[in-house]
Amino acid sequence: MTRLSSQDRSILAVLDSAQPATVAELAAVLESRPHPMTVERRCQALQQAGYLNRGPGGAYRLTRAGASRRQTAAD
């Protein structure tokens, strides 16, 4: 994943400030109010790219690469 969408950046930002979070929690706080299935797909793509890990209960959290990417995207 070379380029992050605005929704990807938003997911990383939310997880940077409040992790871990489930798909339902992310969908509820994202500004664009996406459908949970959309959030799930984006989280899966971010996980495949190495930016997120999925833990017990299905909650996502940033990896070191995700935190680094979040900082790069914010600059």
**Per-residue buried b or exposed e for 26-53, using 16+ beta carbons within 10 Å of the residue's own CB:** bbeebeeebeeeebbebbebbeebebbe
Which range marks the domain in which residue 60 is found? 6-74
Number of domains forming the structure of the chain: 1
Structural domain contains residue 48: yes
Residue 1 belongs to some domain of the structure: no
Q: Does residue 53 lie within any of the structural domains?
A: yes
Residue 30 half-sphere exposure, CB side, CA atoms within 13 Å? 26
30 contacts 10 by C-beta, under 8 angstroms: yes
In whole angstroms, what is the distance from residue 62 CA to residue 42 CA? Answer: 13
Within a domain: residue 51? yes
For residue 69, give the CATH number of its domain: 1.10.10.10
pTM: 0.90
Instruction: Dump pLDDT digits (tens) for 39-48.
Output: 999 999 999 9
> What's residue 74's pLDDT?
64
Q: Answer yes or no: is 63 within a domain.
A: yes
